[in-house]
Amino acid sequence: MGAMMKYDYWVVGAGITGMTVARVFAEQGKTVLVLDRRSHIGGNCHDEYDEYGIRVHKYGPHIFHTNSKEVWDFLGRFTEWRHYQHKVCAYVESMLLPIPINVDTINRLYDIAVTPATMAAYLASVSVKLDVVKNSRDAVIGRLGVDIYDKFFKNYTLKQWGIPAEEIHPSVCERIPIRFNRDSRYFSDQFQGIPLHGYQKMFERMAAHENIHLLLQADFKDVLGEVEYNGLVYTGPIDEYFNYRHGKLGYRSLRFVFTNYRQASFQEASVVNFPNDYEFTRTTEYRKITGQEAGSTTVSYEYPCNVGDPYYPIPTADNQNLYARYAEDAKKEGDVVFAGRLGSYRYLNMDAACLEGMRIARNLLNLHQNV
Where on the chain is the footprint of its own copies (CB under 8 A)?
1-6, 39, 49, 51, 53, 55, 196-197, 201, 204, 207-208, 212-218, 222-223, 225-228, 292-296
Reported in sequence order, the residue ranges of 180-287 that DSSP labels E, i.e. its strands, are 191-195, 212-216, 227-234, 251-261, 271-273, 282-285
Nearer to its own copies by Cβ, of 68 and 292: the residue is 292
Beta bridge partners of 194: 82
Q: At what angle do helices 119-126 and 136-148 cross, to 10 degrees?
A: 100
Q: Which is nearer to its own copies, 2 or 29 (CB)?
A: 2
Helices 103-110, 119-126: axis angle to 10 degrees equals: 60
Smallest distance from the beta carbon of 60 to its own copies, in angstroms?
A: 20
Q: What length is written for the chain? A: 371
CB 300, min distance to its own copies, A: 18
Q: 145-157 burial string, b = 16+ CB within 10 Å, else e?
A: beebbebbbbbbb
Cα separation of 129 and 116, whole Å? 22
Nearest CB to its own copies, comparing residues 108 and 201: 201
DSSP string, 89-125: EEEETTEEEEES--HHHHHHHHT----TTTHHHHHHH
Nearer to its own copies, 211 or 267 (CB): 211
Task: Quote the least distance from Cβ 133 to its own copies, whole Å.
Answer: 48
Q: How far is the CB of 88 from its own copies (least distance, A)?
A: 24
192 to 67, 71, 101, 188, 219: CA distances (angstroms): 9, 12, 20, 8, 34
* Cα distance between residue 263 and residue 294, in whole Å: 9
Dihedral in degrees, nearest 10, Cα atoms 294, 297, 302, 308: -50
Question: Rounded distance, CA 207 to CA 41, Å?
Answer: 9
- Select 224 or 327, whichever has its Cβ closest to its own copies: 224
Q: Give min distance, CB of 193 to its own copies, in A.
A: 15
Distance in Å, CB of 39 to its own copies, minimum: 6
Smallest CA-to-CA distance from 180 within 131, 92, 107 is with 107
Q: Which is nearer to its own copies, 187 or 241 (CB)?
A: 241
d(CA 90, CA 57): 21
Q: Closer CB to its own copies, residue 84 or residue 274?
A: 84
Nearest approach, Cβ of 247 to its own copies (angstroms)? 26
Minimum distance of its own copies from residue 35's CB (angstroms): 9
Q: Which is nearer to its own copies, 58 or 159 (CB)?
A: 58
